[in-house]
Amino acid sequence: MADFDQELDASGLNCPLPILRTKKTINTMDAGQVLRVVATDPGSVKDIEAFCNQTGNELISSGEEGGKFVFMIKKS
Amino acid sequence: MAGTEKVAMICTKGTLDWAYPPFILGSTAVALGKEVSMFFTFYGLNLLLKDTSKLRVSPAGNPAMPMKMPYGPDWLRKIDWAPKLPNIFMNNMPGFEWAASKMMLQSTKNHGVASIEELRAMCQEFDVKILACQMTVELFGYEQSDFIDGVEFVGAATFFDEAGDASNTMTLYL
């Protein structure tokens, strides 16, 4: 069983697209579901954190996998 | 920043380079849950035209703008041509502005930067309130039908009404 409900590949996209795509995807999800976001924009590391701070969604984890940034966000 | 509920923006510039900041900040603020209104006046009206293909950036008189090739091998792309080309050349060379604009659009594609249309559509999709200054629409000889759907044509008083209370509104002048 996957530990996330939806996945968003924002690889190759630059500011502010990873945030905008994350927002669009989260809008389609239910509270408590988990979104996995993959990005290559180094700015997204702080930006996804800021997005979660501002919107109240929970940033479960933030890390690097195979040269990409991977975030797990739980919708509030 | 915390506690700011609304963002009110005044957008006054109409070149291809300055088209980005308003739409980037507007779409991001609304994605972060702010209530956003953008007031376009003077040259900023260009950013609301249905046809954005005429947006241009000019290296002439713009000494801060780096000019790098968006094509070719890495060593070539790294060269900044701006300090190497005298302004008098840029001002007089026919087609220079057109070429610079094409190169900027190519650079945005190379770097995964959204297009103006895409960011603008995102603002509208997320319900950013888009206001256009009726006075400058008339001053510059535009018709309301020149602009994208969903624009409200208003005056300065409406901007202040939108911006509301400074205790919960961030106002940006761009």
Domain of B20? 6-53+115-173
Report yes or no on B144 lying in a domain: yes
pLDDT at B107: 87
Whether the CB-CB separation of B104 and B57 falls below 8 Å is answered with yes
Rg (CA), chain A: 11
Q: Over range B29-52, report the average pLDDT.
A: 95
B147 pLDDT band (50/70/90 cuts)? Answer: very high
Minimum Cα–Cα distance from B22: chain A residue: A16
Domain of residue A14, CATH code: 3.30.110.40
Report yes or no on B128 lying in a domain: yes
Q: Is the pLDDT of residue B1 over 50?
A: no
Report yes or no on B98 lying in a domain: no
Any alpha helices (H) in chain B, and if so which ranges? 20-31, 74-77, 87-92, 96-110, 116-125, 134-139, 156-163
Report yes or no on B140 lying in a domain: yes
pLDDT at A28: 95
Report yes or no on B64 lying in a domain: no
Say yes or no for a CB contact (<8 Å) between B28 and A12: no
Catalytic residues of A: 15
Q: Is the pLDDT of residue A17 over 90?
A: yes
Say yes or no for a CB contact (<8 Å) between A54 and B113: no
Minimum Cα–Cα distance from B121: chain A residue: A20
Residue B108 in 3-state DSSP?
helix
Q: Scanning the structure block, which residue is given the tokens 């509270």?
A: A31
Distance (Å, whole) CA B34 – CA A54: 9
Q: Is the pLDDT of residue A68 over 80?
A: yes
Report yes or no on B16 lying in a domain: yes
Interchain contact B170–A (C-beta under 8 A): no
Report yes or no on B97 lying in a domain: no
Number of domains in chain B: 1
Report yes or no on A1 lying in a domain: no
Q: What distance in Å separates residue B105's CA from the closest CA in chain A?
A: 14
Number of domains in chain A: 1
Domain of A14? 6-74
Chain B residues touching A19 at Cβ < 8 A: 28, 31-32
Give the pLDDT confidence of A29-63 residue by residue, as tens digits: 999 999 999 999 999 999 999 999 999 999 999 99
Interchain contact B27–A (C-beta under 8 A): yes
Domain of residue B45, CATH code: 3.40.1260.10
Residue ranges of B 109-138 with Cβ closer than 8 A to chain A: 111-114, 119, 122, 126
Report yes or no on B66 lying in a domain: no
Query: Given A12, A19, A41, which is nearest B31 (Cβ)?
Result: A19
Report the mean per-residue pLDDT for chain B. Answer: 89
Minimum Cα–Cα distance from B115: chain A residue: A17
B11 beta partners:
B40
A1 pLDDT band (50/70/90 cuts)? Answer: very low
**Count of Cβ atoms closer than 10 Å to residue B44 Cβ:** 23
